[in-house]
Amino acid sequence: MNVLVYGFGLMGKKVAQAVRNNTQMNLVGVVSPVFDAKIDEKMYTSLSEVNEKIDAIIDFSHPDNLSDILKFGVKNHCALVLATTGYTQQQILHIEEASSQIPIFQSYNTSFGVSMLTKIVKEVAKEFYDNDYDIEIIEKHHNQKIDAPSGTAKLLYDVIHEDINETKEVYDRSTVHHKREKKEVGIQSVRAGTIFGEHTVLFAGHDEIIEVKHTALSKEVFVQGAISACLKIVDKDNGLFSLKNLY
């Protein structure tokens, strides 16, 4: 499988090395406007320079690159693993449109453990809710993360909302001057130190609390998750895949 990595930041470098180490993959090259180190593979500044046959692109770059990646993917019918964060709603619509022509995996979190967390939450959330438990989501990340709440926190809320469609998300209670409504799901963000990523779904009932939590101890979980997703979608029919339906 010929793989192209888009992005040469910290994650891009780790993904490129993981592709090299995988016997089922061949790293054709890396696309990045800037390279701060030499690599043995081809170094492209844009997708317009790529003439090789590409089976899949793994993208850990920036939302501004999405349009070019989608165009290249559709034109060359290659699978896409989109692990970049911060897409707008309009960009998500463009991803959905392109997925009618090629297989695309899009997730703000590629960890297999998080995919299991979503399955657990989906299994139990409605039963807790129907038995008068309040549901809250707390996410923690390093102090360099720009967006809040995290895409994974939004994913967890979406999983809950799919089965309990009367819920509504609440991001800030500082301007709210009434007691908590049953249908509210609070989503709280912490930005501190070097926390790789921690997501907790809390179910609070009368005199008891149940927490379901995923903690990332390094960025390697996201790298290996992207590799796994790439291997799974490359031979799939056209469609949009995420942690909710890939595994």
227: nearest Cα among 109, 104, 119, 81:
81
| Alpha-carbon distances, residue 102 vs 55, 62, 72, 172, 238 (angstroms) | 11, 21, 11, 38, 4
Annotated binding site for NADP(+): 42
Q: Which of 13, 14, 140, 141 is catalytic?
A: 141
Structure tokens of 115? 């995919």
246: nearest Cα among 118, 72, 66, 100:
118
Helices (H), the chain: 10-21, 66-76, 89-98, 112-130, 151-163, 220-233
Annotated binding site for NAD(+): 41, 83-85, 107-110
CB-CB contact of 72 with 50 (8 Å): yes
Query: How far apart (Å, rounded) are the C-alpha atoms in residues 23 and 70?
Result: 27
Q: Which of 119, 126, 145, 236 is catalytic?
A: 145
- What residues are paired with 141 via a beta bridge? 191
Annotated binding site for (S)-2,3,4,5-tetrahydrodipicolinate: 142, 151-152
CB-CB contact of 81 with 234 (8 Å): no
Query: Three-class SS of residue 221?
Result: helix
Angle, nearest 10°, between helix axes 151-163 and 112-130?
Answer: 40
Known active-site residue 236: no
Known active-site residue 145: yes
Question: What is the enclosing helix (H) or strand (E) of 106?
Answer: strand 103-106
Annotated binding site: 41-42, 83-85, 107-110, 142, 151-152
Q: Count other C-beta atoms under 10 Å from residue 140's C-beta.
A: 20
Active-site amino acid positions: 141, 145
